[in-house]
Amino acid sequence: MKKDVLFMCQFFYPEYISSALLPFQTAEALKDSGLSVDVLCGFPKEYIKDNSKVPLHETIDGINIYRKKYLQLSRSNFVGRIVNYFSFTFMMLMNILKCKQYKVIIVYSNPPILPLVTLLARKLFKCKIIFVTYDLYPEIAVNMNAVSDKSFISKVMTKINKNLFRQVSHVVSLSEDMKNYILNNRDIDAKKVSVIHNWATEELHFSEVQSIDFKNLRKKYKLIVSYFGNMGTAQDINTILKLINDQRIKEENICFLFAGHGNKREEIESLIKQKQLSNSIIYDYLSGSDFEDALNITDIFMVSLEKNIAGLAVPSKTYSYYQSGKPVIAIMDKNTDISKEICKNNAGLAVENGETEPLIEWLLSIVKDETQLVKMNKNVQKMFNNLYTKDLQLEKYVKLVNSVLEE
């Protein structure tokens, strides 16, 4: 007899990034609902402090995790990412017989060629596919200038997507603007596309800040503005650089915290060093108590997307910010869900790409009158509780998977 669900994803427990924690927590929720759940994923390397004690196979809370080793090069350059994508996908292909044991396969959009394996599994074993679209390919790769729209890779991804959206049982979109893009640019019925937001993957406890360094920062600065997460091609880092280098901002008692990876991280590090911006501090990826401390001392958070990325991706750290109950600055197309919700609920500030002047003026007004933050904090918390909690999103996944199983 077939089991219910197999997750197929590159990253999973015990890796600490959101693209590992989100599927792990989804798998736990499905298992807790009574479904049989297993995982086929990559062996951890980059996003774990020590992988020497991680087994290739283990069972956690009834979930069988099968980890497969593959060639992993540095993700900091295009060649490294391409090698990783193909290496991991090839390893999943070599293990395709495992798919025969399951009714439903939940597959993620990264790596972008991974869904090919599930299409073959569907053809061979009649598996149903739920496709979770973290990013939309090839458009996001083309718009980020990672590949040309006429390149072989772009054509392959276009072909994959053309077949994929026709054959999947259901698609999970991360936002309404992403769903609208899918319906306008893919051959799929609207009934087969659901919006399930990502969520804050770490439980936040408003306990006393543990880190001495973070305690000292909180004492030193009147206002702390933070950017955590990916600093890659999809993010509008240029607007943020102009902000932290503005003379008016430098003269105020404002601290900027950065943490994360990505190919634009060096731009931030370089500016901080060249301009001697002592009020701007950049860390490596923060997790656990360090991330919790950073959230606790922050007054305002920033998220950003390049203008041509709207509808193609959603910055997942946004939901951790909402959970903390702090206002958010969204630097992106104002037609995105994030910008609309922030404006609608007075939960921060939304500016278009390159609009540094209104951003600077807004921050200066906050410094003069911090009581504005109190009201926005309440608005963010209310918005989060009504729309974006972990439990709300996981309930949607449980309902969706059960409906696909019953089809």
Domain total of the chain: 2
What is the spatial distance between Cα 243 and Cα 223, in angstroms, rounded to a whole number? 14
Give the residue among 261, 247, 398, 235 at the shortest CA–CA distance from 330: 235
Domain identity same for 242 and 348: yes
Domain identity same for 146 and 87: yes
What is the spatial distance between Cα 72 and Cα 42, in angstroms, rounded to a whole number? 10
Domain identity same for 168 and 285: no
List the pLDDT tens digit at each of the 407 positions of the chain.
Answer: 899 999 999 999 999 888 999 999 999 999 999 999 999 999 998 888 788 889 999 999 999 999 999 988 876 677 778 888 889 999 999 999 999 999 999 999 988 889 999 999 999 999 999 999 999 998 998 888 878 888 888 888 888 888 899 999 999 999 999 999 999 999 999 999 999 999 999 877 767 888 899 999 999 999 999 999 889 888 999 999 999 999 999 999 999 999 988 889 999 999 999 999 999 999 988 877 888 899 899 999 999 999 889 899 999 889 989 999 999 999 999 999 999 999 999 999 999 999 999 999 999 999 999 899 999 999 999 999 999 999 999 999 999 999 999 98
Query: What amino acid occupies position 143?
Result: N
DSSP 8-state assignment for residue 135: B
CATH number of domain containing 310:
3.40.50.2000
Domain identity same for 63 and 173: yes
Could you tell me which residues are beta bridge partners of residue 8? 40, 107
The pLDDT value recorded for residue 206 is 66
Domain identity same for 165 and 292: no
What is the spatial distance between Cα 251 and Cα 405, in angstroms, rounded to a whole number? 60
Number of neighbours of residue 154 by Cβ within 10 angstroms = 18
Query: How do beta strands 63-68 and 57-60 pair?
Result: antiparallel
Give the residue among 216, 259, 222 at the shortest CA–CA distance from 363: 222
The pLDDT value recorded for residue 80 is 76
Domain identity same for 305 and 397: no
Domain identity same for 235 and 363: yes
Number of neighbours of residue 301 by Cβ within 10 angstroms = 26
The parent domain of residue 227 ranges over 212-387
Q: Which residues contact 130 (CB under 8 A, 6 or more apart)?
A: 104, 105, 106, 107, 168, 169, 170, 171, 172, 400, 401, 404
What is the spatial distance between Cα 403 and Cα 407, in angstroms, rounded to a whole number? 6
Report the predicted TM-score, pTM, of the whole model to 2 decimal places. Answer: 0.91
Q: What are phi and psi of 372, to 5 degrees?
A: -60, -35
Give the residue among 230, 295, 218 at the shortest CA–CA distance from 255: 218
